[in-house]
Structure 1
Amino acid sequence: MRFKMVKTIFKKEMIDILRDKRTLFMGIILPLILYPVIMIIMTQIMTMSMGSIEEKDINIAFEKNPSKELVSLIENQTDKNTERINIVTTNNYKKDLQDGNIDAYIGVKGKNKIENYKIYINSSKENSSSVNSKLEEIFTIYKDSKVKNKIEQSKLDVKETLNPVVYQTVDVAEDEDVAGLVLGGILPFILIMGVLLGAIYPAIDSMAGEKERGTLETLFTLPISNLELVMGKYMAVSLCAIVTAILNVVSILMTLVYILTTGELTGQLIFGSLKLSSLVFPLFITIICVCLFAMVVSAISMCVCSLAKSFKDAQNYITPVMFLVLIPSYVSMIPNISLDRTTSVIPVVNISLLIKSVLTNNTNLGLIALVFISNFAFVILSVIILSKMFNSEEILFGNSRNFSFLEKRSNIKKGTIPTVSDGVILYAVGLVLLIYVGSYIQLKFKMTGIVLTQVMIISLPILFAFYIKSDFKKVFSLKLPKFKHLLGSGILWIGCYLLVFILTNIIMYYFPQNQEIVEGLNDALFIKDNLLLNLLIVAVMPAICEEMFFRGFILTSFKNNQKSYKGAIIFSGILFGIMHMDFIRIIPTSILGISFAYAVCKSNSIGVGMFMHFLNNGFAVIVTHMSSKLVQNVNSSELTYLSISQISVIFIISLMFISLAVLLFKEKKKEFKEITE
């Protein structure tokens, strides 16, 4: 790679980016002007609203005339505070509370010399909480004065009687730690959003913009390699993202300085006597983290934008990426989740938690190094993928057709094979329906809801295939499997099941709280003492319906090109795992999905996938049914974890079964060509 050529491409890209007004706005104007204006305006609004609440009069009404002592106490409280408490009369307290004529109504009852009061408020009113707190404070003082009088009449020591035990809470947290906790929950999300905005528009202009302007073809005529071209563009996009990230940090820091120095009420409440000098090291680490993350986002954005043919298409493609990046950044706002060996290698999550940890002075050099290494690995991986995509003329200059369901059915040729776009759309529709419809009917109708969900899952690919006039036999691999393939699929399932068993045990070891989720799922999915019905609903139906969806339509759409059938196996398996929407099951289920897809591809029969799916779910049903009877009289349900030696033995056995299955599925080149065709 010639760095001189990379430098030339870099300069050219920077000139193009700086000419784009949208990029300049998102990278410079937004962080320097919009963020400070928003934060200052919100602070002032909060200050004014707090002041207006304190200045507003409080109108209360009593059911009966209150005691003179209570009235005197209310008048004294009014003198001490800026708000005025007025005692008014009402004929219909419910209507007056609803209309806002009174803020509270106090019912008065007395029994055996005990005064009994009920405070009626309308919680739909904005000041109801402060009114209730103020009245409770008044009645507490009134009660204490009555108790004090009773004790004095009994000639007892008031202080000793009322306060026999004295305790005090001492907060040893420094102002820097408190401020860091507040900033650590909010700052990661703001910074990640800023990095996204700083990387997305340069990436769109550098990739889709070049295609739309017709200048990308010209660049390929120059005597430069694809890697040199990619690196020049990548350096330009990364620089824009890094500059935007730094400007975001500086902008937020200067805004905090302004809020603190101007003595805003909200700033004083949140940050107190915070010394900004104490945040120098955390901010330095934060900037480094964000810059490294910006390089990852830049590469990912360029990969996605390289698939687009125009600026508009790139904006549509990049929207899901924004959601996938922004959603994990919320993890900094979730309590009890901190940076550890597991979270430090999860993209986005590790950056968000690292920023939170350095701001709260909970830094660990080992974990920081792990975050840096993992993100550096992501950068290298993203650049490699990007360079591979640049080597594909079909990706850069291909003219793939649009989603077939948007076309008129009369324009579609008979025997159409679904494309990757069709598969992605079907999966997205299925996922949305499963979340919004499937979860509701399963919660409401239990086992009947599971049946209806499976019917919905199988209906989607069948209707889609009918609409685009597909050949059902080819799309769904409708062919009787050979005995050899059935035997191989059974052996493959045993090997993958053992592998999944190991992974599940490891996951449960690090996340034991998920055991309750697993038990809850078992209770929800299975009908007690009805093995046949459980097998039918949990094993047979998913084996047919889910296989038609994933190893039928989805897998066929992904392996439309023979060169990518391995990628189709992997991606369809991962999508299968994600569809189960459970953290502890995603990785194990993805492995099973990959094994199902491999067997279907090698045998060209969906019956093999159905057989493996039935074995997996049926085995789980039988084990659950038998264990529920065995543990009825057992009190302990603690998990027993595998030792390293046990894991090693099971892993070796698993590999042996998988290897044997691969041999059984192995076909001669001529036979494989017939299968793939």
Structure 2
Amino acid sequence: MRLAIVWTILRKELVESLRDRRTLVRLVVVPLLLYPLFALAMSKLVGVEAAAREARPSRIAVWGELADGLQARLSAAGKIELAPWAGAPPDVREGLLSGALAPPAGPEPAPDDGEAAPPEGEAEPPRWIEPENPVLAAARAAVSERKVDAVLVPWPSMGAELGRGGKGAVAIYFDSVRADSATAEARLEGALQRARRAIVADREAERGLPEGFSRAFDVVPRDVAADSRKVGQILGAMMPMLLILMSLLGSFLPAIDLTAGEKERGTMQTLLCAPVRPIEIISGKFLAVWVISLLTALGNVVSMSLTVSRLLPDAMVVGPGTFALTFVLLVPVTLLFSALFLALAVFAKDFKDGQNALMPAYLPLSLLAGITALPVVELNPWTAYAPVLNIAVLIKALFVGEAPADLLFTALVSSALYACLALLFAARVFERESVLLGGHEPARAVLGLGRRAGGAPSAGFSLAAFAGVQVLFFYGSLLIARTSVAVQLAVSQVGFFLVPTLALVAGFGYSPRATLGLRPASVRGLAGALLLGVAAWAAIGGTVLRWFPAPEPFARELGELVLLGGQPYPVVLLLVAVTPAVCEELLFRGLVYAGLRRAGPAVAIGVSALLFGLAHGSVYRLLPTFSLGLALGYARHRTGSVLPGALLHALNNGLAVSLLYFKPSWAQGLLEGDLLPWSVTFAGMVVSLAGLLLLRSSAPSATEPEPDEKAKMEARDRHDADASGGGGGQG
């Protein structure tokens, strides 16, 4: 072998590779920017979470009577809130008060010498595992359901033992999987040790010590976390990252091969010459990439489930249902990856160029999946809306056994929104023949973000606008969470719904009249909306809520929230009835409906109603708000105006607010959770039907755009089609 030839070829290949700017970006710029930013973000996240946990007081349930002076010592310790008998079932409370429940026999604890760590060279002794008993089961339920952070049980004999100078017993029940619970246990154990040392000092000062006097009482921390939760914590730290990374790889290479690879082989041009439409091309390629990614995810889930079941003891094996749900959660993630990678790879000229194009997207997505290994990253309102991260933390919560219905619903809905946006982006890219043939176009032209005078937006623009507004609303509402409820509602409606809607319409040059439905409505249309606004709540409440009732605590909390903390009635009416009627209707029956109208009235009404229900962020409110959204969309369709819907919306909310505020005697049963009588339900149905008939008989000409606006919309569509075709010819 001639080394000189090898050196020449090596130098040639390195020069050609490093001459490529994208290679330099991938090798130098991306690592230099990505990892410092990632490290800073993670350190900030961990620091903020640790500071927030340190600042939060620990809520400790006390199941029993604390000895004299001990309660005062614990309360004075700081950041400890004592809640007597919080979360204690009646039978456990009765058993502790009567002395029927005694501490289970366990190993004799070692004397406390004030040292937290074992002597050097000795391993820390394992904590005693308490046998199953009513107190342990009740404490586990109270802590795992987050009613309290820990449970303190001063056993019934404690007061008498301390009174005679003997030794009492205290148990601390906590959940080591929950960081807040572990913090509460550490705080409580430290406070009890300080109290014990003080008692011992007082006894020593008095002299005459009986047996056990120098110990005062034993503190026995007991971890209530089940073995399955501990195993789930370990699996939940690594499983989401591995599964999502493998799903990424499953769509990474196929996306490049089906786009840039075809350009390199020359088969993309042949495909474009065939009598097929761009939407057919993108659909076939997307489904191929998605199926491969989905099969990759399925194979990894099955393999991991079999591996875990083989390695772990039977008592610790995670059930197959958990792995099945994990695979279901990976479906929206694979949709997102497949659409996004396919849309980015089509810009590349060859396979190598495709790898360079996808790496800047691959790295951040993989890092988002990786941060779930941090203990502080949990499923909460902040992470439930973060793309990819929300599914990763949801899988983590699933393994631990902590996946609240509302947050699970929010994470799935947000993931579906991101997947839809990626699909719309991919479809938009594949419509540009110049890009498919290897040409270049400005990003504004590809995304359709250019300013357009007159007309209404497309369906893709409206859906993208809704997703953007929804994310803005969610994170913005978290930023103002510490303000009063009235301020939160006003800022959310005006700042996160109304202002972005008007800014999008004005910024992109759409016609406010055609897009937002700012037209006068007929008298029949307003009368129909009036009847629906008065009666729709009875029809929906007597049917939907009868078969799908919301949990009583949720309904009670929602009722208290609607009253805005005791604000005057005019303020409540303005913020809960009038403001949402204006702000939400301009978004959902204005901007969103206008874009979906091209797909037909049924699609526009149904999809806008569904998005209206999803935007309220609760699975328990989805069906009622969806039903109301159908009526609001029908009013917009029949009248061509947003005004009847705003009237209907304001009356519906206003009646609910008035009932909650004034609490009339005839509605007392309804306010306490009773079902709406069938007589009231039927009356509401009859009046609602009359309102729908009035809407149906309103002027049909109002359902169509005005002639000049319709002409502008058609001209704009022709211009877009010509631009797409012209670009392809130039390519």
State TM-score, norm by structure 2.
Answer: 0.51
Aligned residue in 2 for 1:182: 230
| 1:519–1:141 Cα change, 3 Å | same
Contact 2:528-2:692 within 8 A present in 1 as well? no
Contact 1:189-1:329 within 8 A present in 2 as well? no
Provide the C-alpha distance between the structure 2 equivalents of 1:207 and 1:658, rounded to a whole number of angstroms. 52
The reply to whether residue 639 of structure 1 matches residue 673 of structure 2 is: yes
Cα offset, 1:242, TM superposition? 2.3
Deviation digits for residues 143-174 of structure 1 (CA, Å, limit 9, x no counterpart): 44864895847xxx7469999x9999999x9x
Aligned residue in 1 for 2:457: 418
Deviation digits for residues 258-284 of structure 1 (CA, Å, limit 9, x no counterpart): xxxxxxxxxxxxxxxxx635556x466
Aligned residue in 2 for 1:18: none
Provide the C-alpha distance between the structure 1 equivalents of 2:328 and 2:191, rounded to a whole number of angstroms. 54
Contact 2:593-2:605 within 8 A present in 1 as well? yes
| Residue ranges of structure 1 left out of the alignment (5+ in a row) | 1-72, 85-126, 258-274, 350-377, 379-384
Deviation digits for residues 413-435 of structure 1 (CA, Å, limit 9, x no counterpart): 42253344543454355445534
Aligned residue in 2 for 1:557: 595
Deviation digits for residues 437-467 of structure 1 (CA, Å, limit 9, x no counterpart): 5566685365466445444332322233222
Cα offset, 1:605, TM superposition? 0.9
The reply to whether residue 332 of structure 1 matches residue 366 of structure 2 is: no
Q: Give the 3-state SS of the residue equivalent to 2:638 in structure 1.
A: helix
Superposed counterparts of 1:334-349, under 5 Å = none
Contact 2:454-2:510 within 8 A present in 1 as well? yes
| 1:499–1:193 Cα change, 3 Å | farther
Aligned residue in 1 for 2:313: 276
Deviation digits for residues 234-266 of structure 1 (CA, Å, limit 9, x no counterpart): 543333222333455577789xx6xxxxxxxxx
The reply to whether residue 465 of structure 1 matches residue 505 of structure 2 is: yes
Provide the C-alpha distance between the structure 2 equivalents of 1:184 and 1:650, rounded to a whole number of angstroms. 52
Aligned residue in 2 for 1:579: 615
Deviation digits for residues 565-600 of structure 1 (CA, Å, limit 9, x no counterpart): 533333333333343334533442233234323321
Cα offset, 1:512, TM superposition? 1.9
Superposed counterparts of 1:536-551, under 5 Å = 536-551=574-589
Provide the C-alpha distance between the structure 1 equivalents of 2:329 and 2:401, rounded to a whole number of angstroms. 23
Aligned residue in 1 for 2:128: none
Provide the C-alpha distance between the structure 1 equivalents of 2:232 and 2:338, rounded to a whole number of angstroms. 29
Q: Give the 3-state SS of the residue equivalent to 1:639 in structure 2.
A: coil
| Equivalent of 2:552 in 509, 512, 530 | 512
The reply to whether residue 444 of structure 1 matches residue 480 of structure 2 is: no
Contact 2:538-2:676 within 8 A present in 1 as well? no
Provide the identity percentage: 14
Provide the C-alpha distance between the structure 2 equivalents of 1:295 and 1:407, rounded to a whole number of angstroms. 25
Contact 2:457-2:510 within 8 A present in 1 as well? yes
CA RMSD of aligned residues (A): 5.9
| 1:201–1:648 Cα change, 3 Å | farther
Aligned residue in 2 for 1:603: 639
| Equivalent of 2:258 in 210, 215, 221 | 210
Aligned residue in 2 for 1:527: 567
Cα offset, 1:613, TM superposition? 1.6
Cα offset, 1:514, TM superposition? 0.6
Superposed counterparts of 1:238-249, under 5 Å = 238-249=294-305
| 1:170–1:500 Cα change, 3 Å | same
| Residue ranges of structure 2 left out of the alignment (5+ in a row) | 1-110, 123-182, 348-353, 369-385, 436-440, 711-731
Aligned residue in 2 for 1:236: 292
Cα offset, 1:517, TM superposition? 1.7
Cα offset, 1:194, TM superposition? 3.2
Contact 2:519-2:641 within 8 A present in 1 as well? yes
| 1:161–1:464 Cα change, 3 Å | closer
Amino acid of the structure 1 residue aligned with 2:313: L
Cα offset, 1:610, TM superposition? 1.4
Cα offset, 1:639, TM superposition? 2.0
Cα offset, 1:476, TM superposition? 1.6
The reply to whether residue 614 of structure 1 matches residue 650 of structure 2 is: yes
Aligned residue in 2 for 1:483: 523
Contact 2:608-2:633 within 8 A present in 1 as well? yes
Cα offset, 1:412, TM superposition? 3.0
Amino acid of the structure 2 residue aligned with 1:640: D
Aligned residue in 1 for 2:438: none
| 1:607–1:210 Cα change, 3 Å | same
Cα offset, 1:526, TM superposition? 5.9
Number of residue pairs aligned between Structure 1 and Structure 2: 487
Amino acid of the structure 2 residue aligned with 1:568: A
Contact 1:191-1:249 within 8 A present in 2 as well? no
Provide the C-alpha distance between the structure 2 equivalents of 1:440 and 1:245, rounded to a whole number of angstroms. 37
| 1:516–1:143 Cα change, 3 Å | same
Contact 1:491-1:661 within 8 A present in 2 as well? no
Aligned residue in 2 for 1:664: 697
| Equivalent of 2:627 in 579, 582, 591 | 591
